[in-house]
Amino acid sequence: MNRGVTQTDVDQLRALQREVQSNDVIVDYVTTQQSAVAYLREINQEISLLIGTDFAALAGRSSC
Protein backbone atom coordinates (compact mmCIF):
# COMPACT_ATOMS: atom_id res chain seq x y z
CA MET A 1 0.00 0.00 0.00
CA ASN A 2 1.73 3.14 -1.23
CA ARG A 3 -0.20 6.20 -0.16
CA GLY A 4 2.58 8.72 -0.81
CA VAL A 5 3.63 11.60 1.40
CA THR A 6 0.87 13.66 2.93
CA GLN A 7 0.96 17.18 4.30
CA THR A 8 0.63 15.64 7.77
CA ASP A 9 3.78 13.60 7.11
CA VAL A 10 5.64 16.73 6.03
CA ASP A 11 4.41 18.65 9.08
CA GLN A 12 5.50 15.83 11.41
CA LEU A 13 8.92 15.69 9.77
CA ARG A 14 9.38 19.44 10.13
CA ALA A 15 8.40 19.25 13.79
CA LEU A 16 10.96 16.50 14.35
CA GLN A 17 13.61 18.54 12.52
CA ARG A 18 12.92 21.50 14.82
CA GLU A 19 13.25 19.25 17.87
CA VAL A 20 16.57 17.85 16.64
CA GLN A 21 17.91 21.29 15.75
CA SER A 22 17.06 22.63 19.20
CA ASN A 23 18.48 19.66 21.13
CA ASP A 24 21.60 20.89 22.95
CA VAL A 25 23.32 17.50 22.90
CA ILE A 26 22.85 17.10 19.16
CA VAL A 27 23.89 20.70 18.46
CA ASP A 28 27.04 20.25 20.57
CA TYR A 29 27.84 16.97 18.81
CA VAL A 30 27.49 18.48 15.34
CA THR A 31 29.51 21.55 16.28
CA THR A 32 32.27 19.43 17.81
CA GLN A 33 32.33 17.12 14.78
CA GLN A 34 32.64 20.09 12.42
CA SER A 35 35.46 21.52 14.53
CA ALA A 36 37.28 18.18 14.54
CA VAL A 37 37.01 17.85 10.76
CA ALA A 38 38.33 21.38 10.27
CA TYR A 39 41.22 20.68 12.67
CA LEU A 40 42.12 17.43 10.90
CA ARG A 41 42.11 19.22 7.55
CA GLU A 42 44.60 21.72 8.97
CA ILE A 43 46.76 18.89 10.31
CA ASN A 44 46.66 17.12 6.94
CA GLN A 45 47.70 20.35 5.24
CA GLU A 46 50.62 20.83 7.63
CA ILE A 47 51.78 17.24 7.15
CA SER A 48 51.49 17.67 3.38
CA LEU A 49 53.67 20.77 3.52
CA LEU A 50 56.27 18.94 5.60
CA ILE A 51 56.48 15.86 3.39
CA GLY A 52 55.96 17.66 0.09
CA THR A 53 52.97 15.63 -1.08
CA ASP A 54 49.23 15.38 -0.46
CA PHE A 55 49.12 13.44 2.81
CA ALA A 56 45.33 13.05 2.82
CA ALA A 57 45.41 11.43 -0.63
CA LEU A 58 48.14 9.04 0.54
CA ALA A 59 46.32 8.20 3.75
CA GLY A 60 43.09 7.64 1.85
CA ARG A 61 44.58 4.81 -0.15
CA SER A 62 44.14 1.60 1.75
CA SER A 63 44.21 -2.01 0.75
CA CYS A 64 42.31 -3.14 3.85
What is the maximum span of the chain, computed from C-alpha positions, in angstroms?
60
CA 62 to chain centroid: 22
Residues contacting residue 60 through CB under 8 Å, at least 6 positions apart: none
pTM (whole model) above 0.75:
no
> By the 8 A CB rule, do 49 and 56 touch?
no
Mind listing the pLDDT tens digit for each residue in 38-63?
Answer: 999 999 999 999 999 998 888 776 65
**Calpha distance 44→58 (Å, rounded):** 10
Mind listing the pLDDT tens digit for each residue in 4-39?
Answer: 999 999 999 999 999 999 999 999 999 999 999 999
**Calpha distance 22→8 (Å, rounded):** 21
